[in-house]
Structure 1
């Protein structure tokens, strides 16, 4: 593959997005909350001026001041970041300002592609998702991190999460790594354990049982299950989840993918255990529905662990438990993806940024971040050792041992390909297209991407 730098036109063609259009909407690549209140970015504390020690007639040069670096990450993670950043500030004399980063891949490209293309960067270190990260790396806008991140950090990740560079499509390009994962986003199966015990109902282990249990709960304003499937992005997330359970290659729109589409349709219209309104709802609405005691079970990302427990007026033990996903024809599968740290090639403070990203991702600091926010919980050895048999790591290990985890579906034009699934899925699920026509249209649109 050629290693030439992409032009802006090349980048837009690769990423499959018009920056002008993307300013209005964004493809969800985020596995974090969408409507979390955004705290003000932490302000850098100015360095106090130092009075000259020599007589005024013989002034000396002013002492060198530390630099101020900008780190961009979604606002809900800022509080967890602050203790780790404070340690680096104390060590180096530099300061860090936290900026609220975009929540979706499309927004990432809209915000950062123009300055990166012009050879500048408004940030020194940033959190990038599975869509924008690979696109930025292929465009030549990110620093390779192989020599910046110590080997002990790389070795802290399991091979399944960070495979060899020639097989790692989301963190590597042309034999080099450009992103260090900080999130392991798994679509977990959440359920109301208290309700299940009250009704003496077992957790569903298959699709058939999922439908049966869903029907048992669907009455009097309560739904068996729910989802957020609003465009852009969320339709893809759920259909890819079901396709993992059928063994489908979703970007090929194959027969197994058709089964996934059909099952989603049946949950809404045939079995009627999922409200039709999910097609226009986001994750905030999904979570709200669940925490209003009107849903028995659902698929949702790990951050719901903190969302549920943070709702102290509602949360009690048994209200947001995790079980293995119901098995489709290919088993109890769910896909994983996530966000990771990168350094722009044009970072204003490049050398300091290299040191900072090594500090943030170190084996010593990874557990601190994980304990501060579930978004940072990953199957890294340092995190599992520190957190032990508590919280999300319990279920992460459970899913791993049960063979539930499959990688996020990959396409060289990830953004475009996911948009195709979004579009076709919505047309089919709103009864504007037959299943056969949907699969045919999907294959044709994917083929047109080249």
Structure 2
């Protein structure tokens, strides 16, 4: 499965990271209270099955961004964001009161760590426009923000930042100063946004490398996640050399068409990830979502139970990182059971060499090797809008003339067979097995 060399940062994510991100629930407006409530519930409900990251998503420096920070401000307007004397963004105390008196996000990270969890933080590529306008100094240099800004490089959906011109001498020092601060706060995971792709814009290789170098220099391991997708497949080597995970798609929401399309993306990224570097199918819109934006009204996920099971199965056998987007305190028992099935999570953690065994129109099968045994994981999917039967021959599985099946979702042994495996599945549903030679 490996297609890159082994790099030191790979050690920080030997298996796909599992966590929760605030974006799908709270958009740009999450507060300290809401974040802590989710941390508490996460520790109680998810941590025992291997979930560990709690990630604060975007606009945490904005005192009042609304559900989604509006990129369509009048020309020339730049919102005022909390920052220090070096132009580095700080949490807005209006929303994060524990950040007062220069504490930054350390109290929130400490709270997350006190629950036995890891703290993640969203950042935007580049340097704040307000720092460029004010010509704030770049820490440790004689340069200012205006000297290193690439003002023609702008995010198309958020008007807070300019890109950094990495050909300028002080550019790396700026990124180093950011990660020096994040290390002081106790950050364990970085989601770097507006850096992977901005269709039809560029792949920001130089700034990806700058962030990678800054993490290596700061002295604290931080998993690096890159957004938004779709990531360019032809940059797989570069991605694996500099990041731990990267988005394969644009924002993923609770629509069947998006899940249907994800099967093609997973197939396209086959063999381009491995221990420490993971193609990412994006957050899981499960449970109660859009409580404060950013897409639609507050609602329970529009995915049916069958579709949620299909999503969890595909993400698990493909070995995507798992990042829950729903409100953790209000998770219902059915959703929680999908997220905490240890046998399904084992396929995500220990499966090796996953690939699409076949696809025939709307019938799909995936398979992977269990690195802890000689068993295989087998997933069958019916992507049709009606009931259909998905077959797999024992020759395709490759474990011999007789195998035993265990249903991972039901946690039931199904006995041995020498026959072709045929599973009738309802629309948009799946089956997930552990297959053993007999």
Which TM-score tier does this pair reach, normalised by the shorter chain? under 0.3
Which structure has greater strand proportion?
Answer: 2
Structure with the bigger RCO (C-alpha within 8 Å, sep 6+) is: 1
How high is the TM-score relative to the length of structure 1? 0.25
Which structure has greater helix proportion?
Answer: 1
